[in-house]
Structures are given as C-alpha cells and as structure tokens.
C-alpha cells in the first residue's frame, strides 16, 4: 500500500487523476532494478512525467507572427499559450529557435546561445518559458548537433587552414583520385562532400552544403555540445529532441556506401561505432544532473537496434522517434499506398521489441512530413473531420508518448502545390534541380509527389481564423503561403464548434491524462489482419479498454473477436451509437473507445 501511495504521488505531479487510479487494482510490484531508490512501478514501469506527457510540436516560423513581418516568432507563441494549454497537452517541443541563416529553416545553427533575430530576443524566450511553466507545462528544445551552419564561428575558423585550431571540429578529407573522398550522398541531393577552395580539401555534409557535419570524435567538440546543453538546461528547459542523433558517430575510415545502402543511406550513417559511448558520456556529464526528457530522432535506426538506445539501464536516451510508421507511405522519397495491416504490424513490432525498461513514442507527422489527415486519413471535405478524429483517437490511446504536430489538432491539410516556385524547402528545391532540370522526372510527376509528401505541406502557417492569411500575420504575405482552405479550417471556428476536431482532440487528451491504462497498460492488437478495422485493447490490472477504429470510407458491421463484447462507451467521434454486444455497426471513419 505504501508503494501505491508513492506511485500515486509520482503520477499526480503530472496530472494523472488520483481518482481514476484508486479504482485500479494494481499488482504490488517490487522496486525496479535500475537504481531508482524504492520507487514503485506501475505494470512494471517506473512512473515518469515524460511517459505521461502529451507533446505538442511548435514550428516557430509558422505558428504565429506578432510583429507583422510575415514570420512566426516567440512572442506569437507566448500569445497563444492558452490555446496550447486548452488542448490538454502538457509539453511543448519547440523546433529550432537559434540564430541561423535559415538554409534549412533553423536546422543550420550559427550560434547555439542566441535566439534567431526573426524570432525575437533572449528575453522573449525567457517570457515564453515562464508562460509555459506558469501553466504547469514543460518545454523541450531542439538539439541540432550532428552539424552546425557553415556560418558558425567554428566553421568560419575551421575552413581557414589545415592547421587552424578549429580544423578538427569538422570532417575534412583530401580528394581521392581527384574526386570526392567517398560515394556518400546528401539527403538533400548530390554528394555529401563539398570541396572548399581555401585548402582544396572536402568537408562532409550529410544534409545541405551549409550544414557541415561536426566531428564528434574530437572530445573538444563533445565538450562544446555538453556546455551548450547546460546553458539551456540551466535556463530551465525540460529536455531535448535530438536531431538525427544516431548519425553523430561516423564509421571508421568513412568507407563507401555499399550498393544495397545507396537507396537508404541513413541505415549506413546511423549507429556508428562510438554512438553508445558518446550518448552515455552525454548522459553522465549532463542529462543525469537534471530531471529532463530526451527523445532522439532516430532516422536510420531499426526496431531491433532501438533497445540499445532507450533501455533505461544503459543511461542513453529516454525514447526515440522510429520512422517505420511515419514513412510507411514512402518508397524512398516517393509516395506509396500503405495498408492498415502494415501499420498495425509496425505498432505490434515496436511494442514487442520493447520491455518495461524502455519507452516508445507515437507520432504520424512533424515538420518533415505531410499533414496527418492527408497522409493517414481522408482529407476530402466529407471525411476530413471524422478521419482526423480517428487518428487523434489512435495517437492518444496507443502505447508510447504521443507527439502532435501543430495544426493537426484542427485537421489542417496538405497544400495544393502546383509549381516549384510555391515551395520553400531546400530538400524539394534541390531535388527539383537534380531530377526535373536533368529530365529524369517529368515536372508534373514531381509536383504530384510534392503534394503528397513534401515537407512544406506541414510548414504552411497555422490557420487561426478566417481573416486574410488565416490570422497568422498582419503582413500582406506570410513567408510561406497559407493554405487556401483557411476560411473553412481554422482555430477560431473550431473553438466555437463543440463538435470540432479541436474539441474532440481535447477530450481525448483529457481521457489519456486521467487514464493510467492508456499510459502504462499492456497493448494488444486483437485483429491484426483486418484491412479496415484497427481494434486493440489497453489493459492495466483489472482495468481494460477496447479501441475500435474504422479506417475505411464505408460502413462496416464488425464482429468482435470471439469472447469479446463491447462494454461501456467512453468516447466516440460520430455521435452516440446504440449497439452493444459483439457486433458493432460502424460508420465510415468511426472511432469508439469502450471500457470493458
Ligand atoms: O531530419 C532528418 C531526417 O531524418 C529526415 O526526416 C529529413 O528531413 C528528410 O530525409 C529530408 O528529405 C532532421 C530535421 O527534422 C529536418 O528538418 C532537418 O532538415 C534535418 O534533420 C537536418 O537537420
Ligand atoms: Ca514576426
């Protein structure tokens, strides 16, 4: 009983309602092995605020412009903190807010201790952080340290001469047979090497030319990173989302990409020989001294490799973003149709590869991917609201910390791009040059793919109301055009409509926060091969929930797997159904959650 009370205290500090816990019959569990002095576990898990969190990602450039220059900024975010809190989320992940020449919208950092001038000042940042804390929310910031900007002072020095003090901060190699040192390619098209005229040597850039890769094998570089992490942690931020962190340790001798990795080089660049050593060092030198959360963007990491990064006994990361689900609709960079059994198999695989010492994330969108309702739902006017609610139901009841991307709570959609001039993203512009201007891909085929998968789909400004530019900016033009559907899809209208996606999302978020079974409960897919219905249970002690989601545009009479009967309806997205028992008459894109 004492153990229960400790667990309760741990949980209620972050919002899980004590009332719903007292109804639980939690098995007495021995204290965990991992040195957490006597903390009680729940279903074997050590309770942690970041396991109970619902994270909302803010892309500052596109959230809200406060000063009429067409670019979102920190004051704009601060002005909408009530909106964010009202959604029922409790952690904000801020995409990079640092000084940057914006070759890749802030993922190319010039000064890690300065706020991007367009976004405001350090005191604006402090205000934002204060506003978040006042609302009992937390803030995690982006840590982008696989590379810096080529305008960072380190690189400005590094390129000056072969014997510059900063030379070894980056990865320089001489030409090989008059060409690039190896065949590595950049994710933004072309070679990953750029010859610098000053010394004639090449530097490595896995992303844009203006994003030179830092040399993590140099301990001075690692110390610089730890120092800048402490700078932000000492300000009070609550953790980091770590950009392409599995790439920081490069393979010994930088060998050529083998033929079978050419189409998926991320699996060759990731998980280098010293990755675990560097993460453990970062953990002991920095992270272990603070109560923070870490989530690694694990591009190129397989499900099988994941435990080695997130097992709490290894002291590396708390959780990672696995790309299997979000990239299920991709063949390389091209759209591919996906099936529901494939998606379900991914979640089962993630769950089964994980045990009580590990933790997962759940997400289907971010600033690098298309809009969730366009990619995984149905963004036609008839089904957009229902399918967005199905996805919200899923994201907030699966096992793992949910990450929601700004605007998805409104059911914002992909943008109807028709020409490359409407695009901003360096990935798309470079691909256009490499593929269309060389006549390898016809322009219309390229643009059709842009409409499906381009990163710009997620980067169009937030749609706040039906005024010009969706209320995002008072400027005549936003930095990237607002989606023309803003008069029909915007926050003001959804806040006023009790049946909106926004309000449904809020109810789902409340349900997750007050229901430990959705956080710590076991996950089981009860019908893995069904092509239309995703049905699963979440079970914690005697408490059991059934989630039934119709992922199709037709009505489905769904017979529950044998022995199962629908219990009390907890929430549904298309009005209150009156059927009970073992056959459910589901409408197109209907979502229901039952307590069994
Ligand atoms: O993304 C890296 C990444 O793994 C991809 O999603 C990448 O965006 C895609 O392959 C490009 O086609 C991170 C950031 O999230 C992204 O915005 C940055 O551009 C990138 O790293 C470089 O910092
Ligand atoms: Ca602005």
Query: Tens of pLDDT along 324-348?
Result: 999 999 999 999 999 999 999 999 9
pLDDT digit string (tens) for 145-185?
Answer: 999 999 999 999 999 999 999 999 999 999 999 999 999 99
> Alpha-carbon dihedral of residues 247, 48, 86, 132, nearest 10 degrees?
-70
pLDDT digit string (tens) for 204-242?
Answer: 999 999 999 999 999 999 999 999 999 999 999 999 999
CA 428, chain centre distance (Å): 20
Handedness of CA 520, 521, 527, 532 (dihedral sign): negative
For the chain, percent of residues with pLDDT exceeding 70: 93
Please work out whether the CB of residue 456 comes within 6 Å of at least one atom of ligand 1. no
Residue 10 has pLDDT above 80, yes or no: no
Give me the mean pLDDT over the 468-490 stretch. 98
pLDDT band at 425 (very low <50, low <70, confident <90, very high): very high
CA 142, chain centre distance (Å): 11
Closest-CA residue, ligand 1 atom 5, reads 368
Compute CA distances 136 → 82, 91, 129, 188, 442, whole Å.
11, 9, 11, 39, 51
Residue 39 has pLDDT above 90, yes or no: no
- Which listed residue (104, 108, 196, 297) is catalytic? 297
Residue 22 has pLDDT above 50, yes or no: no
Please work out whether the CB of residue 363 comes within 6 Å of at least one atom of ligand 1. no
Instruction: Determine phi and psi for 300, rounding to 5 degrees.
Output: 90, 10
Specify the long-range contacts of residues 72-75, CB closer than 8 Å, at least 24 apart.
72/119, 72/461, 72/462, 72/472, 72/473, 73/118, 73/119, 73/120, 73/124, 74/115, 74/119, 74/120, 74/124, 74/125, 74/127, 74/128, 75/120, 75/124, 75/127
Compute CA distances 111 → 72, 96, 97, 245, 338, whole Å.
20, 11, 10, 19, 41
Range list of H helices, 371-465 = 372-376, 384-395, 426-431, 443-453, 456-459
| For the CA of 108, the nearest atom of ligand 1 | 23
Determine the distance separating the centroid of ligand 1 and the alpha carbon of 104, expressed in angstroms: 9
Please work out whether the CB of residue 343 comes within 6 Å of at least one atom of ligand 1. no
Distance between CA atoms of residues 141 and 199, nearest Å: 36
Residue 29 has pLDDT above 70, yes or no: no
| For the CA of 206, the nearest atom of ligand 1 | 22
Residues in the chain: 596
| For the CA of 367, the nearest atom of ligand 1 | 17
Residue 31 has pLDDT above 70, yes or no: no
pLDDT band at 38 (very low <50, low <70, confident <90, very high): low
Q: What is the DSSP string of 44-107?
A: TBPP-TTTS--EEEE-GGGT--SSSSSS--HHHHHHTHHHHHHTT--EEEEPP-EE---TTTTS
Q: Residue 172 forms beta bridges with which residues?
A: 203
Q: What is the DSSP letter of 155?
A: H
Residue 376 has pLDDT above 60, yes or no: yes
Strands 138-143 and 91-94, sheet pairing: parallel
Distance between CA atoms of residues 538 and 536, nearest Å: 7
Distance between CA atoms of residues 299 and 25, nearest Å: 39
| For the CA of 366, the nearest atom of ligand 1 | 15
Distance between CA atoms of residues 566 and 588, nearest Å: 19
The residues, any chain, with a CB within 8 Å of residue 199's CB and separated by 6 or more, are 159, 161, 162, 172
Is 297 tagged catalytic?
Answer: yes
For the chain, percent of residues with pLDDT exceeding 90: 92
Strands 172-173 and 202-204, sheet pairing: antiparallel
Instruction: Determine phi and psi for 297, rounding to 5 degrees.
Output: -80, 105
The tokens describing 262, both together, are 């050419």
Please work out whether the CB of residue 213 comes within 6 Å of at least one atom of ligand 1. no
Residue 1 has pLDDT above 70, yes or no: no
Determine the distance separating the centroid of ligand 1 and the alpha carbon of 512, expressed in angstroms: 30
What pLDDT sits at residue 363? 98
- Which listed residue (142, 209, 243, 408) is catalytic? 243
For residue 265, the ligand closest to its alpha carbon is 1
Q: Which of 268, 355, 263 is nearest to 314 (CA)?
A: 355
Q: Is 440 helix (H, G, I), strand (E, B) or coil?
A: coil
Give me the mean pLDDT over the 96-111 stretch. 98
Give me the mean pLDDT over the 268-276 stretch. 98
Give me the mean pLDDT over the 444-466 stretch. 98
What pLDDT sits at residue 46? 97
Determine the distance separating the centroid of ligand 2 and the alpha carbon of 295, expressed in angstroms: 28
What pLDDT sits at residue 28? 41
Closest-CA residue, ligand 1 atom 14, reads 243
User: Where are the strands (E) in 234-322, listed by range?
Assistant: 239-242, 293-297, 319-321
Determine the distance separating the centroid of ligand 2 and the alpha carbon of 588, expressed in angstroms: 41
Determine the distance separating the centroid of ligand 2 and the alpha carbon of 119, expressed in angstroms: 6
For residue 96, the ligand closest to its alpha carbon is 1
Mean pLDDT for the chain overall: 94
Q: Which of 262, 504, 286, 303 is nearest to 394 (CA)?
A: 504
Name which residue leads in pLDDT, 4 or 399.
Answer: 399
Give me the mean pLDDT over the 391-415 stretch. 98
What pLDDT sits at residue 580? 76
Q: What is the distance in angstroms between the CA of the first residue and the CA of the last residue of the chain?
A: 26
């Amino acid at each position: 009983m004492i153990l229960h009370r400790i667990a309760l205290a741990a949980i209620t500090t972050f919002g899980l309602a004590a009332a719903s816990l007292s109804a639980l019959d939690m098995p007495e569990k021995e204290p965990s092995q991992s040195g957490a002095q006597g903390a009680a576990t729940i279903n074997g898990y050590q309770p942690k605020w970041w396991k109970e969190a619902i994270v909302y990602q803010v892309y500052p450039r596109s959230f809200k412009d406060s000063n009429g220059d067409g670019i979102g900024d920190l004051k704009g975010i601060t002005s909408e903190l009530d909106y964010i809190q009202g959604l029922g989320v409790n952690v904000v992940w801020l995409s990079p807010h640092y000084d940057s020449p914006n070759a890749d919208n802030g993922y190319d950092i010039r000064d890690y201790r300065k706020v991007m001038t367009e976004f405001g000042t350090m005191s604006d940042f402090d205000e934002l952080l204060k506003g978040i804390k006042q609302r009992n929310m937390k803030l995690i910031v982006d840590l982008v340290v696989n590379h810096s900007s080529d305008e960072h002072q380190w690189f400005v020095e590094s390129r000056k001469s072969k014997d510059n003090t900063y030379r070894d901060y980056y990865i320089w190699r001489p030409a090989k047979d008059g060409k690039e040192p190896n065949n590595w390619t950049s994710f933004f098209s072309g070679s990953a090497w750029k010859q610098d005229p000053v010394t004639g040597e090449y530097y490595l850039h896995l992303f844009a030319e203006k994003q030179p890769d830092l040399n993590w094998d140099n301990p001075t570089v690692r110390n610089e990173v730890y120092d800048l992490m402490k700078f932000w942690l000492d300000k009070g931020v609550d953790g980091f989302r770590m950009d392409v962190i599995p790439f920081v340790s490069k393979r010994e001798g930088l060998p050529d990409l083998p033929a079978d990795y050419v189409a998926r080089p991320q699996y060759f660049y990731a998980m280098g020989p010293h990755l675990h050593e560097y993460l453990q060092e970062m953990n002991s030198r920095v992270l272990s001294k603070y109560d923070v959360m870490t989530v690694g963007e694990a591009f190129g990491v397989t499900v099988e490799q994941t435990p080695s990064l997130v097992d709490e006994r290894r002291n590396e990361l708390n959780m990672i973003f696995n790309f299997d689900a979000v990239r299920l609709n991709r063949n390389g960079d091209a759209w591919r149709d996906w099936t529901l059994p494939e998606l379900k198999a991914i979640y089962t695989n993630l769950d089964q590869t994980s045990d009580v010492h590990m933790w997962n994330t759940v997400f289907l969108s971010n600033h690098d991917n298309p809009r969730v309702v366009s990619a995984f739902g149905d963004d036609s006017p008839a089904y957009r609201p229902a399918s967005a609610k199905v996805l919200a139901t899923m994201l907030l009841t699966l096992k793992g910390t949910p990450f929601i991307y700004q605007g998805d709570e409104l059911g914002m959609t992909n943008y109807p791009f028709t020409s490359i001039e409407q695009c901003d993203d360096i990935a798309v512009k470079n691909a256009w040059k490499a593929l269309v201007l060389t006549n390898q891909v016809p322009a219309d085929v390229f643009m059709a793919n842009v409409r499906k998968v381009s990163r710009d789909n997620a980067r169009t400004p937030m749609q706040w109301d039906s005024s010009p530019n969706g209320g995002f900016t008072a400027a005549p033009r936003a930095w990237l055009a607002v989606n023309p559907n803003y008069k029909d899809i915007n926050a003001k209208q959804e806040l006023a409509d009790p049946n909106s996606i926004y309000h449904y999302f809020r109810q789902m978020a409340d349900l997750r926060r007050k229901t430990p079974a959705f956080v710590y409960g076991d996950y089981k897919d009860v019908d893995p091969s069904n092509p239309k219905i995703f049905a699963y249970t979440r079970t914690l002690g005697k408490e059991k929930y059934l989630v039934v989601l119709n992922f199709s545009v037709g009505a489905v009479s769904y017979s529950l797997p044998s022995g199962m009967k629908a219990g009390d309806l907890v929430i549904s997205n298309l009005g209150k159904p009156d059927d009970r028992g073992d056959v459910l008459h589901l409408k197109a894109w209907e979502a229901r959650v039952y307590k069994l």
